Each structure stands twice: as structure tokens, then as C-alpha cells.
Structure 1
Amino acid sequence: MNAKTKLVTDRIRLRCMEDRDQATLFGLLFNDPDVMTYYSGLKDKRQTREWVNWNQRNEKGYGVSLWIAEDKRTGEFLGQCGIVPQQIENQTVMEIGYMFARRHWGNGYAQEAARACLDYGFNERQFGKMAALIDPGNKASIRVAEKIGMHYSKTIRKWNKPIAVYERKSYN
């Protein structure tokens, strides 16, 4: 693995976000109303740049962030998946986040990438617990969380709306 690659699965390479990813993130994720249905709305190009910068800061500060998910064989952009620190009731919790381009939905990429992040968080980083913060209406994301062994914990108010918290404790 090169320095930018964080994780590799059977089909996916997860690598650190770079400035060059802004156009792809904007075009295939943040400007697609279907992809952003359960998010706080579409992102413009400035917000996309801020998103990449935020992830780069997380990578430097925490050693984790949302990473670009690419097809391991072809290099095609699939989406983003990774681990980011989130505040839940005044505690920092490591969240597994995932968002994939619409044309790649239904292929199991989110589950495969999220499972790799969970394994990395528990086995390599020794996180005691990880969470997924999901809009309660996003049934597909809930299924991904459940398939990687997360369970509903509670509903909180975050990002000006109710958010379901799914959690899993460390394997140990």
C-alpha cells in the first residue's frame, strides 16, 4: 500500500482525500439530490472544498477521516467511507460514515467498506466503541449498519434534526 492508501478490501481501495477529489465528490455525490436525500442538503463547490479540508484535518489530527472509495481493479470512484470523530452528548465518538455514488448502489460496496473501517477501528486503532449516525428514514444506511453488527442505541438531535445512533462495542 502506498502512503495515501488506508485500507484495501476484495474490491475496494480506501485512500486519503486529496484536493483533486473535489470535482468528483461534487459531481457524483454532493450535487446529486438522490444521494443527498437524507443529508442536510446539496453542497456547493465551496462547501465541497471545505469538506475535503475538514477530512484532511481529521486525517492529520486523528489519523482517520472519510476516505475516497475506489474500485481496486479499475480505480473508478465509488464514493466515500471512513471514520470521523463526532460529538454525541458531549462525548467524542468515532463514527463510521459512508456515502456512495448512485450508480454503485445495491452492489454491497457500502457494507464492504464499512466492515473494513469497523475492523480497522477496533483491531488497529483500538477504539472501544464505534457508531453510525443515520437519518431514521434512511433504511439503506440502517441496513448497512445492522449488517456490520451495529445495533440501534438511541435517537439524538444533531444537524437540526433527529438522528438515530447505531453502535457496536469492540470485538475484545
Structure 2
Amino acid sequence: MGTYILTTDRLKLREMTKNDVQNLMEIFSDPVAMKYYPSTKDEKETMSWIEWTINNYKNYGVGLWIVEHKETGQFLGQCGIVPQEVDGKIEMEIGYLFVRREWGKGYATEAAAACKKYGFEKLNLKKIISLPDVNNTPSAKVAERIGMKVEKTIHKWGKEVLVYSITA
């Protein structure tokens, strides 16, 4: 098991490990959950995602964390702070991706709010962003619920992406 990073009323966030492939496949193999990503991912691509995340932990001290239900330990999704390039500089993004069976319960907002607090209080970040697809209204709503405002639209990952941001 990965190290627990933070907890909220209902959630525990921990570091991702190579044992999370099956958990993540529940999201990555779902075309609906992956609608705003280039495509679904197979096991090999999921392993690459985990390696990318573990490298982010090493290089930046942050990355996507596994979100579990605090009481049951059930896998709910991933949420964390991820370095992203925006207009030539590295910004810290709150990213979130949850299994479809858990949508609509407020878990993404709860996890994202905890990551925002962690970013400002523990990491002393000056600014945090979120990068939802321009058409991904539910994802944009999470950014808005944690106090972020739209700054601009950029072209990234071959599509139009909103840049939401909040400063400390």
C-alpha cells in the first residue's frame, strides 16, 4: 500500500503503487469515464501512467493520489496535484478522475478541496490550476466549487482546454 497523504470526512488519499493497475483499469477501460481523454487505456498504458505518477512523486513531491472510501477502503478514483506545462511554464494542477459508479456523490469536489488546501498550506504554492476540457462541464463545476475561476482557454493535448486558477 502507498503512504497516506491526507484524509477528509469521507476519503483517504494515498500514494499510487504498481498494485493499483486493476483499480485504475476500472476508470481507464470505461469509454464514458474517458470521454475527454484521447482514448481508453489498456493494462500496459495504465502501468505507464502509474510510472509517470511515481516519477512525479520523486521529482516534484506530488502527483495523483489514489482516493479510497475512508470507512470501507473501496477504490473511488484518483485526485492529486500534477505538474503541467501551460504557456511554457510548469504550473501545479489539481487533477481528478473517478470511477463512474461513484459520480455525483461529491467525492471529486471533496478530494480536490483537500488537495487545494494541501497545496497552499503544506507546499506553499502561490497558485493552483485545473485544466478541464472545454466541453467537460462536470469537471469544470468541480473547479468552480473549490473557488477557481476561468483564466483563459489554451490548446493542449490536441484540444481546447479551460485554465481555471486560484491563488493563495
2:86 corresponds in structure 1 to: 88
Q: Secondary structure at 1:137's aligned position in 2? A: coil
- Contact 2:149–2:164 (8 Å) recurs in 1: yes
Taking structure 2 as the reference length, the TM-score comes to 0.98
1:22 alignment partner AA: V
- Contact 2:56–2:62 (8 Å) recurs in 1: yes
- Contact 2:67–2:75 (8 Å) recurs in 1: yes
1:100 corresponds in structure 2 to: 98
1:61 corresponds in structure 2 to: 59
Taking structure 1 as the reference length, the TM-score comes to 0.96
Provide the identity percentage.
49
Tell me whether 1:14 sits opposite 2:13 in the alignment: yes
Distance of 1:82 and 1:24 partners within structure 2: 16
Deviation at 1:41, TM superposition (A): 1.2
Per-residue Cα deviation, 1:50-102 (whole angstroms, up to 9, x for no partner):
00000001011111000000001010000000001000001100000001000
Deviation at 1:150, TM superposition (A): 0.3
Q: How many residues align?
A: 168
1:40 corresponds in structure 2 to: 38
Gaps of 5+ in 1: none
Distance of 1:69 and 1:35 partners within structure 2: 16
Deviation at 1:23, TM superposition (A): 1.4
Q: Secondary structure at 1:155's aligned position in 2? A: strand
Per-residue Cα deviation, 1:16-65 (whole angstroms, up to 9, x for no partner):
00000011101x10000110011111111111000000000101111100
Q: Secondary structure at 2:72's aligned position in 1? A: coil
Gaps of 5+ in 2: none
Q: Secondary structure at 2:135's aligned position in 1? A: coil
Runs of 4+ in 1 over 6 A off after TM superposition: none
Q: Secondary structure at 1:134's aligned position in 2? A: coil
Tell me whether 1:111 sits opposite 2:119 in the alignment: no
